[in-house]
A = this chain, B = another copy of it.
Amino acid sequence: MLPVRHGCGGKTVKESRHHKIKEIVSQREIETQEELVQALQEAGFTATQATVSRDIKELQLIKVVGSSGRYKYAIPVTTTTFSLDGIRRKLTDVFVSLARAQNLLVLKVLPGNAHSIGAMLDAVEVEGLLGTIAGDDTLLLICQDEAAARSVEQSLRE
C-alpha cells in the first residue's frame, strides 16, 4: 500500500508529522515521548509512543539537558562537515594568490571577498591559525609559527 498523501503538499502523513515534531520541539520543551504524543494530538496528529520513538530516531533528535536540569528533546545543530572544504569551494571562485612570509600568509582574493573568507576561517578555527585580518581583497592569516603557516597554506591549496 502506498503511503497516504493528502492535500497538495505532496507529503505523506509521516512526513508532515515529522515536520510538526521539529516545529513542536523547537518551540517548547518536550521532556518525554508521551509528552510529544500529547502535543501532536493537540496539533491534530494521532500517533503512539512507539511511532514517536521511531520518528525521533529518524529525525535524529537528541536529548539534551534543558534549562530546568531535566532532559528535553532537541534538534541537533547541523553537523554538516563544513570543515575547510566549504571554504576551499568558496575560494576556488575568488582565489587570486597565496604567499607565505614566516608565520604569515597573505591571501589575495577578488575585491570585496576578503572579509567573508576571513570570517569563515575564524569560524572554523583552523589548527595553528591564530587569526585573520581582512582588507578588501587581501587577507592576512596570522599563524602560530612557520610550521603552522606551512600547514595552513597546504590545507588551503589542496
List A residues 102-116 near B (Cβ within 8 Å): 115-116
- In whole Å, how far is A26's beta carbon from the nearest beta carbon of chain B? 5
Binds B, one of A8-16, A30-38, A39-47, A120-128: A120-128
- In whole Å, how far is A6's beta carbon from the nearest beta carbon of chain B? 20
- In whole Å, how far is A18's beta carbon from the nearest beta carbon of chain B? 13
List A residues 71-90 near B (Cβ within 8 Å): 71, 75-84, 86-87
When the two chains form the complex, which single residue of B122, B126, B147 contacts A86, counting CB atoms closer than 8 Å?
A: B122
Flag whether A57 is at the interface (Cβ < 8 A): yes
When the two chains form the complex, which single residue of B60, B77, B150 contacts A27, counting CB atoms closer than 8 Å?
A: B150
As a 0/1 sequence over residues 131 to 153 of chain A, the CB contacts with chain B under 8 angstroms (1 = contact) are 00010000000000001101100
Closest residue to A79 on the B side, CB-wise?
B77
Flag whether A64 is at the interface (Cβ < 8 A): yes
- In whole Å, how far is A147's beta carbon from the nearest beta carbon of chain B? 5
- In whole Å, how far is A19's beta carbon from the nearest beta carbon of chain B? 9
Contacts of A118 in B (CB 8 A): 116, 119
Complexed CA–CA distance, A1 and B147 (Å): 33
Give 7 CB contacts A-B under 8 Å: A62-B64, A76-B76, A77-B80, A87-B123, A116-B122, A118-B119, A119-B120
Q: Which chain A residues have a beta carbon within 8 Å of chain B's beta carbons?
A: 22-23, 26-27, 57, 60, 62-65, 71, 75-84, 86-87, 115-120, 122-128, 134, 147-148, 150-151
